[in-house]
Structure 1
Amino acid sequence: MQRLADFLDGIARVTASIVRWLALVMVLVQFAIVVGRYVFGVNSIAAQESVLYMHAALFMLGAGYTLLVDKHVRVDVFYAKASDATRRRIDVFGHLILLIPSMLALAYWSWPSVRNSWKILEGPISVGGIEAVFLMKSLIPAFCVLVLLQSLSLLIRLMLPVTSSEKAAA
């Protein structure tokens, strides 16, 4: 089971190592847009939309890694002062009752829109924009799959027995 969890973690790490570069590219493109508009009087709707696409991809595809490194949003009202055993129970509850059903529902309810978008190869958001809204909509099921895989990995780790080194670290 440990090897499966490590493999699933690897998917999140590889995905993050690729999409993290979108942050740099996004800043450079946005800088070029501003310089082009205000210095040279040139504007490109496609370039503006590319920033939107990169932003969407960065956050949607990076969500699984965010969950892996425990940097996701958490309500710490009870969690912060809870014992390790209680935290494990809260995490299991959160994955099984909240996160996994939410991701499955989102994937289920968004799939018809994604499928239809691919069927018609849905065009740009704005006139003159990138003719690939279907690709951006595909980020929704990709997001769901990546978060579900990472949730499964974390659940596997939560179900593994606590080692003495983990007890000592706590």
Structure 2
Amino acid sequence: MVEKIQGLSDRLCDAIENFIKLIGHIVMWGNGILILVIILQVVLRYGFGKGMVVLEELQWHLYGLGIMIGASYSLVTDSHIRVDIIQANMGQKWKNRWELFGIVFLLLPFAFVILDHSLDFVHESFRVNERSDAPLGLPFRWIIKGVIPVSFSLLILAAISRMVRILNSMGKGKSDGNR
């Protein structure tokens, strides 16, 4: 029975992680667009003395999109930054416990607080149809603000998936919570 539950949870974790990876791969193409926008802005500003506010703001939006979605992607692919100095002398059992502690008491509470506060933030931006303060800036600022709750929702899903994988590996007596 336990094996069936673990098998089901593994398939659910796979589905969640594959969904996050798909979104991450789509958003990664924004980095190519970001590079082109930066090059165009540099050429226009320094080559022709005519920089464009819309390109400047588009750079920030594309950069923000990559960073925000990249958080959940890096957690799923286990490529996030760690403070390994603490884990350096721990066995795998204690590394798993330490990671669970970090997910349960640090990552998830932080992500839930940001998600909760971002909903009103985005709603108000949408309600007033917020746009750039610059006269020639980008309209619909609520779109980029809407990335905040989306990205933190994905981060919460990624953290829960990671936590389930660690608990499954600990339940099986394995020493590794990674795939």
Q: Could you state the TM-score of these two structures normalised by the residue count of structure 2?
A: 0.87
Equivalent in 8, 28, 35 of residue 16 of structure 2: 8
Match of 2:5 in 1: none
Matches within 5 A, 1:109-120: 109-120=117-128
| 1:51 corresponds to 2:59 | yes
Distance in 1, matches of 2:88 and 2:78, equals: 13
Deviation at 1:165, TM superposition (A): 8.2
Query: Which amino acid letter does the alignment assign opposite residue 151 of structure 1?
Result: A
Listed one character per residue, the Cα deviations across residues 78-136 of structure 1 (whole Å, up to 9, x for unaligned) are 11221100010011111111111110011112221111001111111422110121111
**1:134 lines up with 2:142 in the alignment:** yes
* Residue of structure 1 aligned with 2:77, choices 44, 69, 76: 69
Match of 1:100 among 97, 108, 121: 108
Q: Provide the rounded CA distance (Å) in 1 between the counterparts of 2:122 and 2:104.
A: 26
The 8 Å contact of residues 19 and 58 in structure 1, kept in 2 or not, is answered as: yes
State the 1:73 CA deviation: 2.4
Distance 2:143 2:33 in 1: 18
Partner of 2:90: 82
The CA distance in 1 between the partners of 2:133 and 2:29, in whole Å, is 24
Q: Distance in 2 between matches of 1:62 and 1:125?
A: 27
CA–CA distance in structure 2, aligned partners of residues 161 and 47 of structure 1: 48
Moved over 4 A (4+): 162-167
Residue 13 of structure 2 contacts residue 161 of structure 2 at CA under 8 Å; is this kept in 1? yes
Residue 158 of structure 1 is aligned with which of 166, 170, 173? 166
Q: Does 1:18 align with 2:6?
A: no
Percent pairwise identity: 26
Separation in 1, partners of 2:157, 2:124: 25
Is this contact kept in 2: 1:111–1:141, CA < 8 A?
Answer: yes
Q: In 1, distance between residues paired with 2:120 and 2:92?
A: 41
AA aligned to 1:45 is V
Looking at structure 1, the residues matched to 61 and 140 of structure 2 have their Cα atoms a distance apart, in angstroms, of 9
Number of equivalenced pairs? 167
Deviations 1:16-55 (A, max 9, x none): 1101111111111100111111112322101110000000
Q: Distance in 1 between matches of 2:26 and 2:96?
A: 31
Give the Cα–Cα distance (whole angstroms) in 2 for the partners of residues 116 and 165 of structure 1: 48
- Counterpart amino acid of 1:116? E
Which SS does the other structure have where 1:42 is aligned? coil
- Distance (Å, rounded) in 2 between the aligned partners of 1:65 and 1:105: 20
Gaps of 5+ in 1: none
8 Å CA contact 1:125–1:133 kept in 2: the answer is no
Whether contact under 8 Å (1:66, 1:72) holds in the other structure is: yes
